[in-house]
Amino acid sequence: MMIIMRTDATKEQVSRVVDRVENFGLTAHISSGEERTVIGAVGESRPLLMDQFLHLPGVDRVVPISRPFKLASREFRPQNSKFRLDGFEIGGKGIVMIAGPCSVENREQILSAAVAVKNAGAHALRGGVFKPRTSPYSFQGLREEGLELLEEARAATGLPVVTEVMSKEQIPIMLPIVDVLQVGARNMQNFDLLHAVGESQHPVLLKRGMMASVDELLMAAEYVLSHGNQRVILCERGIRTFETSTRNTTDINAIPVLKSLTHLPVILDPSHGTGHWEYVTAVARAGIAAGADGLIVEVHPNPSEALSDGGQSLKPDRFVKLMKEIDAIAAAVGRSIEPMLSE
Amino acid sequence: MMIIMRTDATKEQVSRVVDRVENFGLTAHISSGEERTVIGAVGESRPLLMDQFLHLPGVDRVVPISRPFKLASREFRPQNSKFRLDGFEIGGKGIVMIAGPCSVENREQILSAAVAVKNAGAHALRGGVFKPRTSPYSFQGLREEGLELLEEARAATGLPVVTEVMSKEQIPIMLPIVDVLQVGARNMQNFDLLHAVGESQHPVLLKRGMMASVDELLMAAEYVLSHGNQRVILCERGIRTFETSTRNTTDINAIPVLKSLTHLPVILDPSHGTGHWEYVTAVARAGIAAGADGLIVEVHPNPSEALSDGGQSLKPDRFVKLMKEIDAIAAAVGRSIEPMLSE
Amino acid sequence: MMIIMRTDATKEQVSRVVDRVENFGLTAHISSGEERTVIGAVGESRPLLMDQFLHLPGVDRVVPISRPFKLASREFRPQNSKFRLDGFEIGGKGIVMIAGPCSVENREQILSAAVAVKNAGAHALRGGVFKPRTSPYSFQGLREEGLELLEEARAATGLPVVTEVMSKEQIPIMLPIVDVLQVGARNMQNFDLLHAVGESQHPVLLKRGMMASVDELLMAAEYVLSHGNQRVILCERGIRTFETSTRNTTDINAIPVLKSLTHLPVILDPSHGTGHWEYVTAVARAGIAAGADGLIVEVHPNPSEALSDGGQSLKPDRFVKLMKEIDAIAAAVGRSIEPMLSE
Amino acid sequence: MMIIMRTDATKEQVSRVVDRVENFGLTAHISSGEERTVIGAVGESRPLLMDQFLHLPGVDRVVPISRPFKLASREFRPQNSKFRLDGFEIGGKGIVMIAGPCSVENREQILSAAVAVKNAGAHALRGGVFKPRTSPYSFQGLREEGLELLEEARAATGLPVVTEVMSKEQIPIMLPIVDVLQVGARNMQNFDLLHAVGESQHPVLLKRGMMASVDELLMAAEYVLSHGNQRVILCERGIRTFETSTRNTTDINAIPVLKSLTHLPVILDPSHGTGHWEYVTAVARAGIAAGADGLIVEVHPNPSEALSDGGQSLKPDRFVKLMKEIDAIAAAVGRSIEPMLSE
C-alpha cells in the first residue's frame, strides 16, 4: 500500500508511519516530493492493514496497490478456467445457454418450459423454487415441492438444473437434484452462504449484487474458491443506477473487465439486466459480442400468467429467435454455441 | 394499479385488458384521453398482479397506486411506535445513543470500550462478533468467544448489547445474551434471516442496504413485522453513489422521509455513513437535527490498532465531545438525550 | 396525469382537486378504490401542471401519463429518420463509423490520424478544438487554429468533420468548416447552446450527459428539433455510477430503449463509455450487436503522447482490427458498414 | 503520481517508464515489492501526465497523489474565506439565509415574496429570470423583464439579489442589478461560463452538479478563482442516486468534506436537495448542524400556483417557522444567524 502524507505533515509524523510499517514486518520506501511525502509499504499485503494507518497524525490517504483477490485473478491463473457440467463444458470456446422460468409454478408449466428451451437448444434449465421476494406478501416459491418438479423436468429432458439457494440448510436437499447452485444478487455478500456453497464442492453460479463493484464480485468468488471449489461461474445481471427506463443497468463493460481480471467463466443475464422482454434479445446479443461465455435467460410458456417476473420473460418462440441471433453473433466473434453431448 | 395503454392501442386491446382486470376480481375504471387510454384497476392490491399486464398487447406501462408495505406504514399506525429496551425507551422523545467498537477483539478492548461509552452516557453497547467481511482473508470476528466477552461487558456496565446476526443458526445462542439483534446492510434482503429474526420476537435493528431504496427497507421491516414482532428499529447507514470522497453517502433525506412513511423508530449510523472519523460528529449532529431518534456510533479505545473499521472509529474523548454536541442539537429540536433508569 | 390521493383524504379535498383539474380545461376521471381515490386528468398534457397539484391538501403523488417529448418520439414519427452527410447516410441500414483523436494537437497529428482512419474505412473524422476540461490547468484545445487544421485534414482526406461546440459564439466560425456540431455530455442541458445549434439548421451530434436519463436526452433533442432542425444524432457515451473499474458505465440498455422510443439515429462512444483502450473494441462490438447505427471512436497515431484521453485512444492498427470485427457483427445483425460514395 | 506496474512487468518495461518519468523532468522513486514494482514520479504535478503512462507496456494503473485543485484548497489558504455582500458577511460565524421563488413570475409575486422573506429575516432574495428547463415547452423565465422586477424588489426591500446566469452574454445586463451570479447545477461544467463569471469579478454562487463529485465542484471553483475572483460560494443541492423517494439525495457528508478541503463558504439548498416541501425544514436543520454557512431556500407566496418547482417551495409562514428552527440549531453549534446591517 502507499501511505500519502498531508502537505503539512512533520518529519516526526513521517517517522512514526515508517516505524509502524516496519512493525508490521513490511519495508518502507520513502518518496519525498516538493509538496508531500509518500511512503510505500512493501511486503505481504493484507487489506486489513490499510485502516491501521488512517488515524496516524499527518496521514492524508492510503492507497492499495495489490488487488484484494488472489485465487480468482488471472495473474494467479492465466488460462481460462473451464469445466464440465452434465453434457456440456463452460468456459471454453462454446457459448452456453441457460434458460427457463423465473419460478417453478406447477408441473405443467415447468415441464412445458423445459421442453421448449431444450428444443430451442438450451444447455441447462433454470427455475427458482426458493424465491427472494422484496415483499413478504409475494409468491415465495414452491420450495421442496418445486425441487421435485425440477427433478421431473430434468428426467424428462436431460437438461441439468440451475436453481437459487437462499440459505445453507437448503444445500443438502438440493445436492442430489440440482446441478448448479445459484447465489442470487441479494445474497452476493451473504458470506455465511458463500462459505457453505464453497464447502459443498458443487458448481456455483454467482450473480453480481445490484450495487456490488466488480472487485466485490471477485472477492465473493474468492470466498467460494478458498474452499477449493473451483467450479464458479460469474454472472453480470445489471446494476442499480439513476436510470429508470429499465429495471437495472446492464454493465456491459463488466464483461471485458471480468474477462481481463479473472480466469472464471462469465455469463450475462439480459432478463434481469433490462427487466423488459422487448430489450432482452438486443442485450443478449451485446453480451456475446462483448465476450461473455454464455447467457441465462428467463423463458416462460405464458409470461402474462407468470407468478413472478412475467414482464421480463420471453415466450418460447421468441427464445427460438434469440438462439438464432446468438448463433450469428457467436460466429462473428469466432465462437459457436456449445454442442451438447446428448445430440 | 393504473394500466397505461400505448397511443396506438386498439379498442380490442383495451377490452382484453379490462377483461383481465375483471378476471382478477378487480373493477376497471377507463379514462380515455385524446392521446391514450388509462385503465384503473381498483380493489385488493397485490404487487404480483402488475407483471401480469405488461405482456398484454397495447400496454405501455403499469403504475402502482398503493404503497407495497402495510404494517410498517404510518397509514396503518399513525402514532410513533415506542418500546422499552433494558433501561431505556426508543421511539419516544428521548434520543438514544448506541456506541462501541466495530468488532469485539479481545477482553481488554471490549471492556475498555464499554466503560468508556457508558461513562460518556451511551444507552447501549455495540460490537460485532460475527463479521461480514468483503474478503475471506479479513478478520471474521471472535464468534462464540466474542459473545462471552459481550456478556461480560454487559455485566460490568449494565449496558444492553446490540450485535449483528448473520444467519439464523446464530439466533439461539444470541438470545440469552444479546438485547437487540442487528441485521446488517448486506443482509437486508436475506429474507430467510428476516423471517428468523421476526419469529424470534426479539428486538431487531435493521440496517438499510447500501443499495436499498427506502421502500425496500420498509418491505424488509414488513418481513419482521409480519411475524408479530413489532420491536423493529430502522437504521440509515449511507448508500452507495458515484461520490468517492466518503465511503458511503449518508442519505439524510431518508430521515424525514422514513419518519413520514413509518411509525417505527429511525436511527442514523454516521460512522458507516461517512467512513471517516473526521466527519462522524458533523453528520451525527445532522441526523438528530433532521429528526432521527438516535445514533449508532463506532467508538474504539485505540482506533489505529483496530482490527476493522479503525478509520471511521472515534476515540473515547471524541465520543464524549460528540455526546455534548448531540445534547445541544437535541435541545434545539425540542428533545433531549433519553435518561437512563439506572441513573 | 393521475393524481393519487392520500388514504385519509376527505371528500372536500377530492372535490378541490377535481375543480382545479377542470379549471385547467382538463377532464377529471375519478376512480375510488377501497383504500384511496385516484383522479385522472385528461386533455392536453403539460408537465408544468403536475407541480401545481402537489401542494393541494390530501394529495399523495402525481404520476405523469404522457411522455414529455413529442417531436423526438417514435409515436410522432414511426419510421427511422435518416439523412445524408457528406458522402454517406446515417439512420439507415448502414453502420457509420466516426473516428479520430480526442483533441487536435498539431498539423502532423491530425493529418496522420485522418489518413489512418480514412484508410481503415471510417466515414467521418472527429477531433476537438474547443475542449471542456475538468481542470483550468489542462490543455484547453487549439481553438481557431485547430479549426484550420481540421479544414486541412478534411481537404486532404475528403472526410466530413465532427467537432464539439462549447458556446454559441463558436457556431458561426464552425459552420463553414464543420459538418456536424457535437454537443458534449457536460453541455447536454446547456439549453442556451441547444437553442443555438437548433437554429443553425446544421447537423448535430448530441451526447448523453453522464448524469442524464434517457428521457432527459430525448428532451434535449426536443430543444433542437423544436427549431425545425431534424438532423440530430443521439450518442450514448456512458453514465456515472458507483462502479470505478471503468471511467463510465456504458448503458448498453439505452441502445434498444432509444431505438424503441425515438426515430433518431443512435450511436455509441465506447471510448468514453469505458475509458480504457483495452475494453473499447469489445464494447464497440456490443453496441452494434445491440442495434446502434454507428460508433464514434477515439484513435490517435501515438496514444502515449496524446495531450488528452490517451488512455482510451486506440492506435491505428487496433482501429483497423476493430473495423474488421464490427464488419462481422454488422453482418450478424443483418446490416453492413455503410459504403462511402467516394469509393 | 504513482505508476503501478503489472505483476508480470519486465525489467525493460520498468526502465521505459522510469525513462519517461525523467523525460518529463520528474524524479522517479522505485519500490520493488515481492509482487510488483511501483514507481513514484515526484516533481511538479500535472493531471495531464497521468494519461501518458497508461499505454506503456507493463503498466497496470496510475494513481494521483496531489489534489487537482490548488487555489480552492485549504492547504493553499488555511483560514476561512469571508467576504461582504450588501449588508452582510458570508463565510464568518454568522449563518446566511437566501430565499425566494424558483422563478420570477410577475410583479406581484416577486414583491410579495421579497417582502415575506425580508420580514422573516432573510439576507438575500433569490429568483430565476433565465430558467434552465428540461423541456422546451416549459416556462423559460421572464428574462430581461424579470431582471427589472428583481431590481424593483431589491429597491423595495433592500435585499441583495441572487439569480442564475445561463450564458455569458447575460452577464453584462446582470451586473448592474444582480449582487450574486448563480451558476446552476446543469452548468457547473460549462467551462465557458465559468471563465466568464470569473472574469466578471462579481460574487458567484456555484451549485454542485447533480452528478458532480466534490473534487469536480472544487475544480469548477478553481476556474473562477484562477481569474482572481475570490468571492465564490459553494452550494450543495443534492446529487442523483438510485433513490426515488426524493427528487435528489442531499449529500450531507459533502458539508464537512468541503469545509475540510476548502476555505470557501459552503451553503445548502434543501429545496432542490429534497424536492418536497415537507422535507425541506428537516434537511435545512441538518445542513446547519453539519456545519454549512447558510441556506438557499425556495419560498413562494402561493406554491400551488407556481410556474415552476411549486412542489418544493415553502409558503411564507412555513419559512418563518424554518427561520426559528435554524436559529435554534445555529445556537446549538455555537453560531447565530448573521445580523443585518440595516437593522
Place of cell 445491440: C290
Our CA-based measurement puts residue D84 at a distance from the nearest CA of chain B, in whole angstroms, of 26
Our CA-based measurement puts residue A36 at a distance from the nearest CA of chain D, in whole angstroms, of 8
The pLDDT score that the predictor gives to residue A212 is: 96
Task: Kindly list the residues from chain A whose CB atom is less than 8 angstroms away from the CB atom of residue B190.
Answer: 166-167, 186-187, 190
Residue pair B129/B152 in contact (Cβ under 8 Å)? The answer is no
Which pLDDT band, with edges at 50, 70 and 90, does C23 fall under?
confident
The pLDDT score that the predictor gives to residue A59 is: 86
Flag whether residue A66 sits within 8 Å of chain D, measured between CB atoms.
yes
Stretch A288-309: mean pLDDT:
92
Which pLDDT band, with edges at 50, 70 and 90, does D288 fall under?
very high
The percent of residues in chain D predicted with pLDDT above 90, rounded, is 71
The percent of residues in chain C predicted with pLDDT above 70, rounded, is 97
Torsion angle, CA of C33/C39/C45/C48, rounded to 10 degrees? -110
Grid cell locating D58: 507493463
Stretch D186-212: mean pLDDT:
95
Place of cell 447500501: B210
CB contact under 8 A, D55 and C311: yes
A174-208 pLDDT, tens digit each = 999 999 999 999 999 999 999 999 999 999 999 99
Residue pair D327/D337 in contact (Cβ under 8 Å)? The answer is yes
Stretch C123-149: mean pLDDT:
90
Task: Name the least confident of A338-342, B189-193, C118-122, D29-33.
Answer: A338-342
Which pLDDT band, with edges at 50, 70 and 90, does A46 fall under?
low
Q: Name the residue among B38, B240, B242 with its Cβ closest to that of C2.
A: B38
C24-67 pLDDT, tens digit each = 888 888 887 777 888 888 765 555 577 778 778 888 888 877 77
Task: Kindly list the residues from chain D whose CB atom is less than 8 angstroms away from the CB atom of residue A244.
Answer: 244
Say which amino acid occupies B132.
Answer: P
- CA-nearest residue of chain A to B62? A311
- Integer Cα distance of D208 and D31 in angstroms: 39
The pLDDT score that the predictor gives to residue A134 is: 79
Which pLDDT band, with edges at 50, 70 and 90, does D290 fall under?
very high
- Integer Cα distance of C259 and C290 in angstroms: 10
Flag whether residue A34 sits within 8 Å of chain D, measured between CB atoms.
yes
The pLDDT score that the predictor gives to residue D1 is: 80
> Is residue C145 over pLDDT 50?
yes
Stretch A270-275: mean pLDDT:
96
The percent of residues in chain A predicted with pLDDT above 70, rounded, is 97
Task: Name the least confident of A115-124, A235-244, B63-72.
Answer: B63-72
The pLDDT score that the predictor gives to residue B103 is: 94
Element of type H or E holding A144? helix A144-157
Stretch D184-208: mean pLDDT:
96
Which pLDDT band, with edges at 50, 70 and 90, does D343 fall under?
very low
Flag whether residue D40 sits within 8 Å of chain A, measured between CB atoms.
yes
The pLDDT score that the predictor gives to residue D159 is: 96
> Is residue A257 over pLDDT 60?
yes
C212-248 pLDDT, tens digit each = 999 999 999 999 999 999 999 999 999 999 999 999 9
CB contact under 8 A, C251 and A249: yes
> Is residue D197 over pLDDT 80?
yes
- CA-nearest residue of chain C to B247? C242
Say which amino acid occupies B209.
Answer: G
The percent of residues in chain A predicted with pLDDT above 90, rounded, is 71
Task: Name the least confident of A237-251, A254-268, B212-226, D20-34.
Answer: D20-34
The pLDDT score that the predictor gives to residue C297 is: 98
Size of interface A-C (CB pairs under 8 A): 138
The pLDDT score that the predictor gives to residue B343 is: 44
User: Cβ atoms within 10 A of the Cβ of C228, count?
Assistant: 10
Strand order in the sheet with B27-32: B27-32, B37-42, B2-5, B59-63
- Integer Cα distance of B196 and B218 in angstroms: 17
Rounded to the nearest integer, the mean pLDDT of chain D is 91
> Is residue A225 over pLDDT 90?
yes
Residue A209, judged by CB atoms within 10 A of its CB (0-12, 13-18, 19+), counts as buried
C302-312 pLDDT, tens digit each = 988 887 777 89
Flag whether residue A31 sits within 8 Å of chain D, measured between CB atoms.
yes
- CA-nearest residue of chain A to C213? A243
Three-state secondary structure readout of chain C: CEEEECCCCCHHHHHHHHHHHHHCCCEEEEEECCCCEEEEEECCCCHHHHHHHHCCCCEEEEECCCCCCCCCECCCCCCCCCEEECCEEECCCEEEEEEECCECCCHHHHHHHHHHHHHHCCCEEECECCCCCCCCCCCCCCCHHHHHHHHHHHHHHCCCEEEECCCCCHHHHHCCCCCEEEECHHHCCCHHHHHHHHHHCCCEEEECCCCCCHHHHHHHHHHHHCCCCCCEEEEECCECCCCCCCCCECECCHHHHHHHHECCCEEECHHHHHCCHHHHHHHHHHHHHCCCCEEEEEECCCHHHCCCCHHHCECHHHHHHHHHHHHHHHHHCCCEECCCCCC
Residue pair D257/D291 in contact (Cβ under 8 Å)? The answer is no
- Integer Cα distance of A82 and A69 in angstroms: 19
The pLDDT score that the predictor gives to residue A342 is: 52
Reduced to 3 states, what is the DSSP secondary structure of residue B320?
A: helix
> Is residue C166 over pLDDT 80?
yes
The pLDDT score that the predictor gives to residue B341 is: 60
B19-28 pLDDT, tens digit each = 888 888 888 8
Please enumerate in sequence order all residues whose Cβ is within 8 A of that of D68, keeping only pairs 6 or more positions apart, or say none.
C134, C135, D47, D215, D219
Interface of B with A in 71-130 (CB under 8 A): none
Q: Name the residue among A215, A242, A289 with its Cβ closest to that of C286.
A: A289
The percent of residues in chain C predicted with pLDDT above 90, rounded, is 71
Stretch C192-198: mean pLDDT:
95
Flag whether residue C257 sits within 8 Å of chain A, measured between CB atoms.
yes
The pLDDT score that the predictor gives to residue A200 is: 97
Task: Name the least confident of A81-95, A166-180, D18-32.
Answer: D18-32
Mutation target among D252, D262, D276 for the B interface, most CBs of B within 10 A: D252
User: Cβ atoms within 10 A of the Cβ of B215, count?
Assistant: 18
B291-330 pLDDT, tens digit each = 999 999 999 999 888 887 788 999 999 999 999 999 999 9
B211-222 pLDDT, tens digit each = 999 999 999 999
Which pLDDT band, with edges at 50, 70 and 90, does A136 fall under?
confident
Stretch A136-144: mean pLDDT:
85
The alpha carbon of D115 is separated from its chain's Cα centroid by a whole number of angstroms, namely 27
> Is residue D45 over pLDDT 60?
no
Please enumerate in sequence order all residues whose Cβ is within 8 A of that of D156, keeping only pairs 6 or more positions apart, or say none.
D111, D114, D115
The pLDDT score that the predictor gives to residue D44 is: 58
User: Cβ atoms within 10 A of the Cβ of A59, count?
Assistant: 21
Our CA-based measurement puts residue B65 at a distance from the nearest CA of chain D, in whole angstroms, of 14
C244-281 pLDDT, tens digit each = 999 999 999 999 999 999 999 999 999 999 999 999 99
Which pLDDT band, with edges at 50, 70 and 90, does B176 fall under?
very high
Flag whether residue C45 sits within 8 Å of chain B, measured between CB atoms.
yes
- Integer Cα distance of C20 and C40 in angstroms: 12
The pLDDT score that the predictor gives to residue A284 is: 98
Place of cell 455513513: B273
Residue pair D304/C58 in contact (Cβ under 8 Å)? The answer is no
- Integer Cα distance of C314 and C298 in angstroms: 6
3-state helix, strand, coil in chain B (%, to 5): 40, 20, 40
Q: Name the residue among C241, C278, C279 with its Cβ closest to that of A249.
A: C241
Q: What is the pTM of this model?
A: 0.91
- CA-nearest residue of chain B to C239? B242
Say which amino acid occupies C188.
Answer: M
Note the ipTM here: 0.92
Grid cell locating D178: 444582480
The percent of residues in chain B predicted with pLDDT above 90, rounded, is 71
Residue of C35, A138, A135, C30 whose CA lies nearest to B44? C35
Q: Please give the residue that has the higher pLDDT: either D132 or B340.
A: D132
Which pLDDT band, with edges at 50, 70 and 90, does C133 fall under?
confident
Rounded to the nearest integer, the mean pLDDT of chain C is 91
Stretch B59-65: mean pLDDT:
81
Grid cell locating D43: 516533481
The pLDDT score that the predictor gives to residue C343 is: 44
Q: Which residues pair with C32 in a beta bridge?
A: C37
Which pLDDT band, with edges at 50, 70 and 90, does B46 fall under?
low
In terms of average pLDDT, the best of A45-54, B67-76, B189-198 is B189-198
Chains sharing 3 or more CB pairs under 8 A with chain B? A, C, D
> Is residue B86 over pLDDT 90?
no
Please enumerate in sequence order all residues whose Cβ is within 8 A of that of C138, keeping only pairs 6 or more positions apart, or say none.
C131, C308, D46, D47, D48
Our CA-based measurement puts residue B314 at a distance from the nearest CA of chain A, in whole angstroms, of 10
